């Protein structure tokens, strides 16, 4: 197809489909892998839409409507300012464009920035080196591509909006760092791809398919003839259309994928090689921004709910981070006595000290004649019976207690009831529809508040604010 068919595609249909493609482009930017809301305001940094970074800590901040991009200092987390003749301070953008920004992505090594913008003549991909922000390459497109990603060295992997091969299959193309269409390579023909993302190892692409497709694919950059097409695991059957897919930063091919279905407050994690059982996570509400990364070498999932609460989940420990949350707790036990009169006791009631293991549920501990059957309204019936005089802990470690015999023995049907609370509140950051960037070097997470025009830097392990940038 390349270059002749692609160049024909570049020259056709733009003005006819301008309105439609602008809507589609905006949707695809948002539906890539972590979705935030857009803004119609045009005041300086009232809606910082993008946060990207790299190992040295430099962060790129952009504002869509203004077409402006700022860098935030790696060490002091400040946006450079100047003082005008009137004595007022103004933040200095490194790029000021006469066009609206649709998307912005940085290579993992931080040396190349590629943005997709919309101007009077159409859609453009433009590549900049990040030391002086000089243009390295430009490619004009009539329509926003379905998606693109940037690898080390500045090469761009592109999923064109209208490109298709025989049978309606989408093409994945590689553009050199100069974005020259004449040197583009057609690398793969994939049935109905809708989006792609560079994996954390920098050597694989994750493919998303059309809505309703219960599968995803991934392929190595070194071998585009081998696409691994993985269906949903049985635990994911019936979960509905997927909103977000995220890699967790683990080694391949045994790495893990996070799936968040549309409209659900649940996330599902399973391994690419399908050797692990699917893990279901409670996100504590519908999410705005969400990101995976590593803290102290451990893979984590960090997200902000639509009500503005920041949460952290540690895959290594299986625990939710505290982020200022209270510890899990249990109320006092209530005893229901079935004739004849009995007076057994229960003591040393404790919940897990690993936040998030204990659920908010009610546990019923019922005497059967041979022992005490333990069942949670969420965790279900436990295997094995609790015995008087022996410390008991539920299978998942959610609850522990000690039963004791009374002066009159228990009779069948006697039951204790204990209500537990998970204690997970999260860190309130007030960012309703944020985008997140995890600074793994410092162990901090950046949060852009698209509703309030703030950029917050938060320590996700303690919930403390390190910096607030306006």
pLDDT at position 251 over 60: no
Q: What is the per-residue pLDDT for 387?
A: 96
Q: Which residue has the higher pLDDT, 66 or 44?
A: 66
Q: Which of 433, 439, 441, 432 is nearest to 458 (CA)?
A: 439
| DSSP-assigned states of every residue in 64-130 | TTTTEEEEE-TTT----EEE-TTS-EEE--SEE-SSEEEEEEE-TTSSEEEEEEEETTEEEEEEEET
Q: Which residue has the higher pLDDT, 379 or 74?
A: 379
Asked whether the beta carbons of 307 and 411 are under 8 A apart, the reply is: no
Q: Identify which has the larger pLDDT, 23 or 125.
A: 125
264-292 mean pLDDT: 80
Instruction: State yes or no: pLDDT of 1 exceeds 70.
Output: no
Higher pLDDT: 354 or 365? It is: 365
Q: Where are the domains of the chain?
A: 4-232+301-307+429-469, 329-421
Domain 4-232+301-307+429-469 indexed as CATH 1.10.150: no
- In sequence order, the β-bridge partners of residue 245 are 259
Q: Quick check: 305 pLDDT over 70?
A: yes
Digit-coded pLDDT (tens) for 356-400 = 889 999 999 999 999 999 999 999 999 999 999 999 999 989 999
The most confident of the ranges 2-6, 94-98, 124-128 is 124-128
Instruction: Please count the residues of the chain.
Output: 470
What was the pLDDT predicted at 400?
97
- Mean pLDDT over 83-88 rounds to 66
| pLDDT of the residue at 22 | 24
- Cα–Cα distances in Å, from 132 out to 72, 180, 220, 330, 368? 14, 21, 32, 58, 75
How much is the pTM?
Answer: 0.74
The per-residue pLDDT for range 192-239, each reduced to its tens digit, is 777 888 877 778 888 877 666 666 777 788 877 677 776 666 666 666
């Amino acid at each position: 197809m390349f270059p002749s068919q692609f160049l024909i595609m570049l020259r056709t249909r733009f003005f006819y489909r301008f309105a439609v493609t602008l809507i589609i482009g905006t949707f695809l930017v948002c539906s890539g892998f972590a979705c935030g809301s857009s803004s119609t305001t045009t005041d300086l940094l009232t809606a910082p839409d993008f946060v990207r970074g790299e190992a040295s800590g430099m962060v790129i901040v952009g504002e869509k409507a203004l077409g402006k991009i700022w860098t935030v200092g790696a060490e002091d987390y400040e946006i450079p300012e100047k003082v005008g003749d009137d004595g007022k301070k103004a933040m200095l953008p490194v790029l000021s464009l006469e066009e609206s920004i649709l998307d912005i992505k940085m290579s993992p090594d931080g040396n190349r920035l590629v943005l997709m913008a919309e101007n009077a003549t159409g859609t453009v991909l433009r590549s900049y080196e990040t030391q002086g922000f000089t243009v390295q390459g430009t490619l004009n497109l009539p329509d926003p591509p379905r998606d693109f990603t940037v690898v080390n060295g500045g090469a761009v992997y592109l999923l064109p909006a209208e490109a298709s091969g025989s049978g309606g299959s989408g093409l994945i193309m590689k553009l050199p760092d100069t974005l020259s269409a004449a040197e583009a390579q057609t690398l793969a023909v994939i049935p109905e791809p809708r989006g792609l993302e560079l994996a954390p190892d920098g050597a694989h692409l994750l493919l998303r398919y059309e809505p309703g497709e219960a599968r995803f694919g991934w392929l190595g950059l070194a071998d585009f003839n081998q696409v691994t097409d993985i269906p949903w695991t049985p635990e994911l059957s019936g979960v509905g259309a997927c909103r977000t897919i995220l890699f967790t930063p683990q080694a391949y091919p045994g790495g893990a994928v996070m799936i968040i279905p549309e409209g659900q407050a649940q996330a599902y994690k399973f391994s690419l090689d399908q050797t692990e059982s699917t893990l279901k996570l409670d996100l504590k509400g519908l999410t705005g921004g969400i990101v995976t990364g590593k803290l102290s070498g451990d893979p984590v999932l960090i997200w902000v709910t639509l009500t503005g609460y920041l949460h952290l989940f540690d895959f290594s420990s299986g625990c939710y981070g505290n982020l200022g949350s209270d510890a899990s707790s249990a109320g006092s036990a209530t005893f229901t006595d079935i004739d004849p009169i009995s007076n057994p006791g229960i003591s040393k009631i404790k919940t897990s000290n690993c936040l998030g293991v204990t659920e908010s549920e009610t546990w019923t501990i019922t005497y059967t004649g041979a022992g005490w059957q333990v069942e949670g309204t969420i965790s279900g019936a436990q295997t094995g019976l609790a015995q008087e005089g022996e410390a008991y802990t539920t299978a998942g470690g959610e609850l522990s207690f000690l039963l004791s015999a009374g002066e009159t023995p228990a009779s069948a049907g006697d039951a204790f009831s204990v209500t537990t609370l998970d204690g997970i509140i999260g860190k309130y950051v007030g960012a309703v529809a944020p985008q997140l960037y995890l600074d793994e070097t410092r162990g901090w997470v950046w949060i852009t508040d698209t509703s309030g025009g703030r950029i917050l830097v938060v320590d996700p392990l303690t919930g403390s604010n390190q910096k607030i940038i306006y």
